[in-house]
Amino acid sequence: MEEIKGLEQLLNLPKGATVEQTVTRLTAPGENYGSLMLKIDIKIKEESSEEKYLHLVGKCLPPNKEMQEIFDVDTTFRKEILWYTEAIPTFHSFEKSGDTENAPYCFPKLYGSRLSLKPESNALDDDVLILLENLVVQGYKTGNRLEGFDLQTTKVILSTLARVHSVFTSIRLKEPATFQEKIVPSLHSKEKDLPPFGPGVVSFLDKEKPEYRYLFPRIQDTFNCSKLGTLELREPWLTVTHNDLWVNNMLLKANGKSHDVMFLDFQMCACGSPVLDLVFFLMTSVSLSVLRQRLDELLSFYYDEFIAGLKRMKLDTDAFTFDGFLNELKQEGKSNFIHSLFFVLIVLNNKEADATEESFDPQAFIRQLVTNINESQRDKICYLVDEFAKREWI
């Protein structure tokens, strides 16, 4: 692949330093949609010091113009740069003020970012770049999206997620001015529509599971909630939500009997209910056998971890009742259902589709998803319908 231009300036290297770089593709086809991810290995030579090596990841525009429009890259890249430069430092600084000794980092380190090679320009162009540490060389790995996480790993991820949610909730309630100044600019305020895939899923269920026909009005009602995000902002639960927290947007590294967790890809963050991330992660990224046997346990586990996180941040938790938490799950049921349903088709799709190719056709990809539903997708879809209906989330 072509070398990255302007790395010396982006890394703020001293005058006279030279860079040798090797650039290859980081992710396989079908594993990333809203950006092109590159593996960038760098050797730095400076006049008065030994050679240094950096192993980095570069986040670039997807070459496909239609995908650029779908993901509104002018907004998403600007927001993600603000996330790394403003929101994450604020998160870590505030977290240290609570009872959180040696809390591990759960966001990758930023090495540099730019909208363009033109320093005087504020316009985003094809040279936009977010440069991050390569966590894979440190031993981090992604999960198997076709299998899903086991119980123990799921709890580790939920504990980290609850910690993140609790810190952002605490910043919002204890330091609202800081939240507005440092966090809100990195968040999305406008809603984003999902593709119109729902009728295809209903048609599939009509043929494969006619016993679900009595639920079709409830399922179709969720199609009116196809905008990503919280349906209604409600106190006191508001936090910062990732809104795309599935298996490919996290990395894990073994740490004794547990794992360290890193969350990735902050293009879609917004202010919303924590149950959006919670349910979406569970339904898209946890193995079906674990969900069938332990869903109630996992929901309670997350709640307990969230409350413990608020207490570490010295926040009064009286308003955060378990009944209120259950009500949040019901209030966001329709949004969670339609979002999870769509992503189950993507996560469990076993056919490679390279969304970074210029020839990629998003509409044809959606048609392929809903007309070629495999056994794993079918089983997860049926579980979603059963579980959401039983819990009256739809």
pLDDT at 342: 93
Residue listed under structure tokens 């600084």: 93
Q: What's the pLDDT at 245?
A: 97
Look at residue 147 in the predicted model and tell me its pLDDT: 96
**pLDDT, position 15:** 86
Give the closest residue to 41 by CA, choosing from 66, 59, 23, 67.
23
* Residues of the chain predicted below pLDDT 70: 29-30, 190-192, 226-231, 352-358
- CB-based contact 55:137 (threshold 8 Å): yes
Cα(142)–Cα(263) distance, integer angstroms: 11
Helix (H) or strand (E) holding 214: none
Provide φ and ψ at 252, rounded to 5°: -130, 145
Whole-number pLDDT of residue 110: 98
Q: What is the pLDDT of residue 117?
A: 94
How close are the terminal C-alpha atoms of the chain, in Å? 47
Cα-only R_g, the chain = 21
310 vs 324: CA distance, rounded Å: 15
Q: Give the pLDDT of residue 63.
A: 84
Q: Quick check: 129 and 58 in contact, CB under 8 A? A: yes
| pLDDT tens for each residue of 162-204 | 999 999 999 999 999 999 999 999 998 866 677 888 889 999 9
- Of 111, 12, 1, 17, give the one whose Cα is nearest residue 56: 111
Distance CA 96, CA 352 (A): 43
Sign of CA dihedral 89, 170, 263, 255: positive
* pLDDT (0 to 100) of residue 354: 57
8 A C-beta contact, residue 384 and residue 337: yes
Pairing of strands 36-45, 52-60: antiparallel
- d(C-alpha 372, C-alpha 90), whole Å: 45
* Residue 33 located in a structural domain: no
Closest CA relative to residue 284, chosen from 347, 222, 360: 347
Has residue 116 been placed in a domain?
no
3-class SS of residue 110: strand
Helix axes 333-347, 274-285, angle to 10 degrees: 30
Count the helix, strand and coil residues of the chain and give each as a percent rounded to the nearest 5.
Answer: 50, 15, 35
List pLDDT tens digits, range 270-289: 999 999 999 999 999 999 99
| Overall residue count recorded for the chain in this entry | 394
Residue 32 lies in a domain: no
* 35 domain-assigned: no
- Let me know if residue 386 belongs to a domain: yes
**What does the pLDDT read at residue 226?**
61
- Domain membership of residue 21 (yes or no) is no
User: Which structural domain, as residue segments, surrounds residue 298?
Assistant: 63-109+134-390
Domain count, the chain: 1
In a domain, 117, yes or no: no
Instruction: Let me know if residue 163 belongs to a domain.
Output: yes
